[in-house]
Amino acid sequence: MTSFSRGSLTLQPSLARNRWNLLLTLTAGLFTALAVLPLIVVIAYVLLKGGSLITLQLLTALPPPPGLDGGGIGNAILGTLIVTLVAALIAVPVGVGAGVYLAEFASAGWFARFVRFGTNVLAGVPSIICGVFVYGLIVSTRLFFNQSYSALAGGIALAVLMLPTVIKTTDEALKLVPQELRWGAMGVGASRFITITRVTLPAAFSSIATGVVLAVARAAGETAPLIFTALFSPFWPEGLFNPIASMSVLIYNFAIMPYEAQIALAWASSFVLVVMILLANLLARWLGRFSST
């Protein structure tokens, strides 16, 4: 039997392998810091430029005419919530239904493979393409009550962007549900419909909700689709079939104006939008904790 001394079990930094290990560890840590640095810089810069401008009037008032001081971004905040809600009402039922079909009914068929491939392709399509698509399909044809730009068209464009995330999240979440739960439900006489609605979907609810929240957060910050579909309005929302303001389009419009008041409102709106997206991601992380327990 070979005997070992206590010294052979201690770390010896002078060894070549330990030096390489330290070097590669420091390199990995440096790259990790560089990956997080843009997020920290963006949040800090937006906080510095827009955080000091936040007031109650800013959050509740309408934007002023170009060149005038005062006003706020209340209509843009409300418009963003409305358009995002419309998108969620369209994308969540369709996306969850498609994910359930892929995971529970056609998990290995050619059609399921085709849908998964199409979902991956759609997830990589630039958002402006979705905006142009909805513009040609709905806005230019005046499909809804002879109206062109509208909040509903903007919601449909954002729903197209949300669909891949919701479908993929639902599909993967249902795959993680233990097969024994399905067998147990069917063993006591439950139908497939009851098994899915009463057993598998509740078991995967936290993961699905996490994907939905992440999809909503992405849709809320999109600009290009809304420029082509919802346009912009300096007034309070007037229904789903009229142009509507949104924070992302307000930032785009005001940031390129040569007026200090409008540029300040753009920074304030950027701060509010970043905070909303940050809170949505924190909510997704909080929901994700339940799926891992």
CATH number at residue 196: 1.10.3720.10
Give Cα 227 to chain centroid, integer Å.
Answer: 18
Name the domain count of the chain. Answer: 1
Q: Is residue 27 part of a domain?
A: no
pLDDT in tens, the chain (293 residues): 555 555 566 777 778 888 889 899 999 999 999 999 998 998 888 888 888 888 888 899 999 888 788 888 999 999 999 999 999 999 999 999 999 999 888 877 788 889 899 999 998 889 999 999 999 999 999 988 888 899 999 999 999 999 999 999 999 999 888 888 888 888 888 888 889 888 898 888 888 988 898 899 888 888 889 999 999 999 999 889 999 999 999 999 999 988 888 999 999 999 999 888 888 888 887 877 765 55
| Closest-CA residue to 153 (of 132, 135, 180, 177) | 135
HSE (side-chain half, CA atoms, 13 Å) at 227: 14
Q: Quick one: pLDDT at residue 3? A: 56
Residue 84 in tokens: 């995002």
How far does Cα 248 stand from its chain's mean position?
14
Nearest by Cα to 157 from 200, 78, 220? 220
**pLDDT on residue 4:** 52
Considering the domain boundaries, does residue 57 fall inside one? no
- Does the global pTM surpass 0.75? yes
Q: Is residue 241 part of a domain?
A: yes
Q: Is residue 60 part of a domain?
A: no
**Residue 250 domain-assigned (yes or no):** yes
The one-letter amino acid code at 249 reads V
Q: Which helix (H) or strand (E) holds 33?
A: helix 16-50
Domain that residue 142 falls in: 75-291
Cβ atoms of 92 and 287 within 8 Å: the answer is no
Both structure tokens of 121: 């392709």
Residue 26 forms part of a structural domain: no
pLDDT score of 186? 85
- The pLDDT assigned to 26 comes to 94
Q: What tokens were used for 277?
A: 């997206």
Residue 7 lies in a domain: no
The verdict on residue 21 lying in a domain is no
Measured CA to CA, the distance from residue 62 to residue 225 in angstroms comes to 23
Contact between 205 and 73 (Cβ < 8 Å): no
pLDDT of residue 17: 82
Percent composition of the chain: helix, strand, coil (DSSP 3-state, to 5): 75, 0, 25
